[in-house]
Chain A
Amino acid sequence: MSNITTGNTTDMFNIAGKDFSSRLIVGTGKYKDFEETALAVEASGAEIVTVAVRRVNVMDRSQPMLVDYLDPKKYTYLPNTAGCFNADDAIRTLRLAREAGGWNLVKLEVLGDQKTLYPNMVETLHAAEVLIKEDFDVMVYCSDDPIMAKRLEEIGCCAIMPLGAPIGSGLGIQNPVQIRIIVEEAKVPVLVDAGVGTASDAAVAMELGCDGVLMNTAIAEAKDPIAMARAMRLAVEGGRAAYKAGRMPKKLYADPSSPLAGLI
């Protein structure tokens, strides 16, 4: 596990009272098999992985289980509500997830329609309120609307996760201005969730000051998922380091980097 250090202080990342050194959260869907999932997660350096809650196949119990490949003691399982299109389904799913896993940290995602998979913020807000009353720590997938992000923080969400572009699109950060406004206004961690396609997209998110990035498809659907997982780890670390270093100001005209004095 490699950490970025600023002076003597390790640059840790805190969610719901727990410290993490990796700022990359990865999904565990879409891989060829569990072996590939485990290798990609390891190469990504992620300490938090998102998982889905589904019915057990009671007719065929010989199928391998994710927990046999990704040890829940080593990785923090972040149950999500992918596939839920209303608040009630999302709440029901996460109550089951809490019982299955025994922890309160969850990712809430309520989708609006099949075509865009854009978040339904009315249902998301309602679900978040119910879950927070039930003592869940809610990381919330949301639109890149700074007012909505603020509202989600005010009702008690522990992380705000606006999309960079539609889920699975790989288009990169389409709206850097709004992501930056959300980062500046938030007192809880902000993570770009969805839309990253390649390493530079992840670096852009981190250079905007995001606390982390969550992705799945960009790694799972790369030609070589394990190599891409490593690229994403480096991009998130590089982007974070650049953000902390403070980039040079942009200028309209050239500025020579060799001294002009003493020219022959």
Chain B
Amino acid sequence: MFDVYEIRKQFPVLGRLINGKPNTFLDTGASAQKPQCVIDKMLKVYSEDYANVHRGSYLLSEEITLEYEKARKIVQKFINTKSDKEIVFTRNATESINLVAAAWGRKFLKKGDEILISEAEHHANLIPWQQVRDETGCTLKIFKIADDGSFIWDEFAKLLREKTKLVAVTAMSNVLGTIFPIKKMAQAAHNVGALFLTDACQFAVHHQIDVQDMDCDFLAFSGHKTYGPSGIGVLYGKYDILEKMPPYQCGGDMVDHVSYEKTTFAEPPARFEAGTPAIVQAIGLGEALNFMMNLGMDNITAHEKELTKYATEKLSEIEDLVQIGTAKDKGGVFSFVLKSVHPQDMAFILDKEGVALRIGHHCAEPLVHRMGYESVARATLGLYNTKEDIDRLVKAIEKAKTFF
């Protein structure tokens, strides 16, 4: 059974009073809080098990290498890849996407080729492609979404053609909450001979992922959003594609043979993990993903779905509040503005009431502008949020309104 009140107890920071008020944490979309098991695991590794990986010929190093590689296998299970060799550890989703842009994009894209992305991308899935465009002379196409944030198949299909070599789309928008039909889109991309990358940064926090079923070629997500530590991210790539890609950074750990004349590079994923990796963070991530899988991804989705429905209703009862992103297929992301109150003014009062959310353009400036705003407030759900959190949010918004 998914008992959110029991589960909350495993997140120590949620028990902290904020400005004397209960911690109403509604910013999981930016970064999630950590359960005790992740904190304990990392503390244990640092206290009892620490050494460098892949290097030493002694017990500690061999043990921790096994732990590090075990974390890779947990990621494999979490997103169901064919092989653990298809998992590259990075710093975060941003680095995962940059890796593909730099190693795959620069090698395989040229003038006349097209990259297709959506209007709803985070800067992390926009700017790397602009850079590749400027370096290779290829073209960056952007397909439109509806005013309510919905995905429109025809807008996507219209721009998908022979010239398209890569489609890179978020699985779930961090501003609108819109969930994109990744499996169908990947199939359409493959039909014109394009590769498909999905930014699963938000999606992975709330949903079961099966990369073989989705049939995407690349997938990126960040550990810190999936209840793991910061400093660790994941890039999944199909092995035959990773194999053809040159290294991203060079140094230790990623080589086969080195002489002053010539260096041959290791096979993936080692080829893309130059230098000492984020060892303890990777192990912490493994623990976090196990935590989610033990709760059951379907249980997490169901809990948040119910809460999303509740929050949508409650927010729509607030006079003067405009919700941004109301697609039918959306997850627990609520962007909104009050007609008469600047988001920053509101955020101040909310902070005083212990309610944490984010304001601004949420690293998706063109998208927020396209929706007609400079700055919006955004509340996002995590598996530990409750109806009481939503009630406190609503109460705090009502209070903020009395000030202006």
A and B associate: no
Q: Mark A residues whose CB is within 8 Å of B.
A: none
- Residues of chain B having any CB pair with chain A under 8 Å: none
